[in-house]
Amino acid sequence: MQVYHAPLRDMRFVLQELHKSEPLPGREELTPELLDSILEEAGKFCSEVLLPLNAPGDLEGCQYENGVVRTPAGFKEAYKAFSEAGWGALNAASEYGGQDLPETVAKLVEEMICAANLSFGLYPGLTHGAYLALKSRGSEALKDLYLPKMVSGEWSGTMCLTEPHCGTDLGLLRTKAVPQEDGSYKISGAKIFISAGEHDLASNIIHLVLARFPDAPAGTKGISLFVVPKFLPNADGNAGQRNGVSCAAIEHKMGLKASATCQLNFDDATGWLVGAPNRGMEAMFVMMNSERLSVGTQGLGVGEAAYQSAVAYAKERLQGRALGGAKYPDLAADPIIVHPDIRRNLLTIRAYNEGCRALGVWVASMMDRAELVTDPEEKQAASEFVALLTPVVKALFTDLGFESANLAVQTYGGHGYIRDHGIEQLVRDARIAMIYEGTNGIQALDLVGRKLPANMGRLLRRFFHPVSEFIEAQQSHPQIGRLVQGFARGFGALQLATAFIAEKGLADPEEAGAAATDYLRLFGLVALGFMWARTALIAAEKLPQGGPDAAFYQAKLATARFFMERILPQAGSLLFTIKAGKGSLMALADAAF
């Protein structure tokens, strides 16, 4: 059975202790007590409403018939309750009916949704991404027409990029946009892999579609963005006549079976330009960058569900005796949690999850600062930090989420491989997150090829400088000094790898490409190490106070030590791999494969 309860104590720790900061402008009224109540209610909704639909929804899947898509039983009712409670409006602007809550809180709620029912979460998640793109680049008329209904959940949203002949290389797309006398456009073309492209949850679906003008330049410079509703709004702003958008089929997928992934046809569909002509990629990247951080959160959510389920099983499943002698002699056998390899599985998932949660909230807090602070230098610093960490969050969190789901299956043994316990579903659901919104290999190339050299390495300094300052200040700390010194070795490997790529990669792009995936993993592990080092410092200071939270802080110290001793040493091998260069990767002729 799938197990999930929102890890509220850890979420409070990350928000109120690890990343505690001065209130943001315009958000002073958000007290810790208020944020706690929001997280608690969100946790109840996810565990009581969304989790019970997850396994049945996977079994039933979405059904397609004559262009109509039906979501699994219970999804419509859950979506109605979700929207009426305002969970999809947390971090939307109040002028469109949103609640103006910070990204830090919204990302934690998003993690809960993804942990409880990832398929469900894609519907409102994509709507929010479309909201962001339209809010950023749309005209006032478009925003006033569409955003209030998208924020309320009455209408949902999608992003329509991929075509049958092109995926990542969007410069090859063929969908056409022909100008009309009334200022609208006729959109014609085919899109595939469109999540939430057709469903029965909302009364209208607002597609953001990439297309070309007939005379547009070749490549990505000739792409424009259009808003294309499933139903054309009437004069009163409500859904009216059906537009020329139809669902030709839904994909038969490995996982996320309760999320409708559609093939869409646009046949002279009416659309309106979003942003400037031939500048569609800029507008779409507002949505894509938001979605990349959300996809990272999906990996974390699956990892947390995997951890809680595996722990529950490991405490109940009796098998063998502890290697040092029976620990539960009154039972027929010891629970498998006593065995070192099971504990390795569980501690690995735990260290990944809590480290990713801490890192994700750090990035979200910088998103809040980039939007709300008024000082130009502080705003730029926050924006550059988010830009640097976005590919790391997307790729690392999804890699680790998939790994965690597999470790949960290993913990369950044969019971994890069969459907009954719902653990194999987590593996299938997690796998796509490593692919969509730009494969993790693309994220690694973005980190190495764009973010590292940008502005002579200025983005990189947004991360390196606080890490260096922390190590300098805490490496002789009486309680955690040795732990910080171990972290410093990992950071040293990252610095050496960065210097190697700067020297070799700028002269030879293939060298940078050969190093990219390993470098992103190295960067990500060091970033998690920084979170664990800071966590250990707080725990070491709080433990002497005793009280009911002593066990919580003791667990933090133990997990931090596990991460530094059993996971972060991978940094050394990653450095050796990076310094091996491109030779063995590129030597084999294409025909020899």
Chain centre distance of CA 252:
23
Angle at 28 between CA 23 and CA 29, to 5 degrees: 140
Q: Which amino acid is at 103?
A: E
- Partners of 207 in the β-ladder: 158, 228
Rounded distance between C-alpha atoms, residue 309 and residue 405, angstroms:
10
Rounded distance between C-alpha atoms, residue 291 and residue 30, angstroms:
25
* Residues 564 and 584 sit within 8 Å (Cβ to Cβ): no
**376 Cβ neighbours under 8 A, 6+ residues apart:** none
Q: Which amino acid is at 303?
A: G
Catalytic residues: 437
Identify the residue whose tokens are 């989790």: 51
Q: Which amino acid is at 129?
A: G
102 phi/psi in degrees, rounded to 5:
-70, 160
The DSSP letter of residue 155 is: E
Letter string b/e over residues 428-461, b meaning 16 or more CB atoms within 10 A of that residue's CB: ebbbbbbebbbbbbbbbbbbbbebbbeeeeebbb
Q: CA-CA-CA-CA torsion for 570, 573, 574, 580, nearest 10 degrees?
A: 180
Nearest to 379 by CA among 391, 390, 387, 371: 371
Strands 245-250 and 261-274: antiparallel
